[in-house]
Structure 1
């Protein structure tokens, strides 16, 4: 059994944003590396997180959790965690895109923000009614999804049960 602890942190506005604090954290972690695993957990896709690690003072992590939890990747070898994410038969990107294509107030984000298990839209100031309508349409078309809406503009469609928290738990179990 491995006795190391797992430190998981968001990146933007948490690790990045205060270079002095990041430098202190990096020094602290460096002297205790044998006690801890480190993972970054972000809404950004893992390639974007990796770029930040390579171009900032971020300490090299053991793993990356990207795409609002839809990706788990080990940093050094770039291998993904087996059997993650679990999306099931009721996750179909084409059906989701087609279902939401005609919806008012939704603009598909550029491909660089999309992945096999994360469909992202700009939804500026969406109401609870908007969110309920979009969810209802997806359910009527047989899609078992969850909607994550934040920053009053970003709407992510994810497989049910796949998010930052469940990805973190799966990585910790691994």
Structure 2
């Protein structure tokens, strides 16, 4: 993948997926272009669920698949698990302790997942419960990262994980430093990856937490929804009137 000139790093549900017409238009644009594009899917879904969605929506096979809110990385067309990342995720990770503490908060409904890469709950519009739960984890000195998104989803992750950390890891290890990147998302668990300083897009149908997100020079707020917003941002950053040199220069400026 070192030879790829461009990367689309996108969330799936609510971002790439959600409008079949817009998705078809975006994929047709990529197929007809001469751009050498790598695709990274970054999702809150677990592996089996991600693969099911890729099949159902007839999505292109990704070059890299990042699942479980950035706690697992799969590389190559055979989707081999990235062993060094998995080892990093298992360090300072105590899922059973997290589950035990969560039992004191009956409004948190645990999601059934095939692995304990992350521990996830749903809660109905109750931020106070989420704050109390996080405080309890901190009082017990349990290393973690808690992400509350869509006013409903509570994900507790290993401390050095998340979509942003995972994306940065694969960009640094699998692509050359001049590669041009577009990051796309729609909800709170996308904030970290949208804040890395790369050209990024918040699609038009985004959740409120992204509408309220602090802007940066390379953050584009699309008017179109789902894949249409990605297409809109791609043309904004990478059309024939925008040179790679300008984008690279702006990217460095955004990081200063």
TM-score of Structure 1 vs Structure 2, range by shorter chain: 0.7 to 0.9
Q: CA deviation at 1:72?
A: 1.0
Match status 1:119 vs 2:119: yes
| Counterparts of 1:111 and 1:19, CA distance in 2 | 28
**Structure 1 runs of 4+ off > 4 angstroms?**
none
Question: Residue 68 of structure 2 corresponds to which residue in structure 1?
Answer: 67
What TM-score results when the alignment is normalised by the length of structure 1?
Answer: 0.87
| Counterparts of 2:172 and 2:52, CA distance in 1 | 26
> For 1:59-138, what aligned pairs fall within 5 Å after superposition?
59-74=60-75, 76-85=77-86, 86-87=88-89, 89-112=91-114, 115-127=115-127, 129-138=128-137
In structure 2, relative to structure 1, the CA distance for the partners of 1:81 and 1:34 (3 Å cut) is farther
Q: CA deviation at 1:164?
A: 0.9
Q: CA deviation at 1:108?
A: 0.9
Measured against aligned partners, the alpha-carbon deviations of 1:8-56 in whole angstroms (never above 9, x if no partner) come to 1111122211112211222222245761110111111122121111222
Question: Residue 20 of structure 1 corresponds to which residue in structure 2?
Answer: 21
The alignment partner of 2:121 has SS state of: strand
Match status 1:53 vs 2:50: no
What TM-score results when the alignment is normalised by the length of structure 2?
Answer: 0.61
| Counterparts of 1:59 and 1:167, CA distance in 2 | 21
Q: CA deviation at 1:117?
A: 2.1
Question: Residue 168 of structure 1 corresponds to which residue in structure 2?
Answer: 167
The alignment partner of 1:139 has SS state of: helix
In structure 2, relative to structure 1, the CA distance for the partners of 1:97 and 1:33 (3 Å cut) is farther
The alignment partner of 1:84 has SS state of: helix
Question: Residue 3 of structure 2 corresponds to which residue in structure 1?
Answer: 2
The alignment partner of 2:155 has SS state of: strand
Equivalent residues of 1:124, 1:153 under 8 A apart: yes
In structure 2, relative to structure 1, the CA distance for the partners of 1:52 and 1:89 (3 Å cut) is closer
| Counterparts of 2:63 and 2:90, CA distance in 1 | 28
Note the residue ranges of structure 1 that are not aligned, 5 or more in a row: none
The alignment yields a C-alpha RMSD, in angstroms, of: 2.0
The alignment partner of 1:51 has SS state of: helix
In structure 2, relative to structure 1, the CA distance for the partners of 1:171 and 1:152 (3 Å cut) is same
Question: Residue 151 of structure 2 corresponds to which residue in structure 1?
Answer: 152
Q: CA deviation at 1:123?
A: 1.5
Question: Residue 45 of structure 2 corresponds to which residue in structure 1?
Answer: 44
Q: CA deviation at 1:119?
A: 0.3
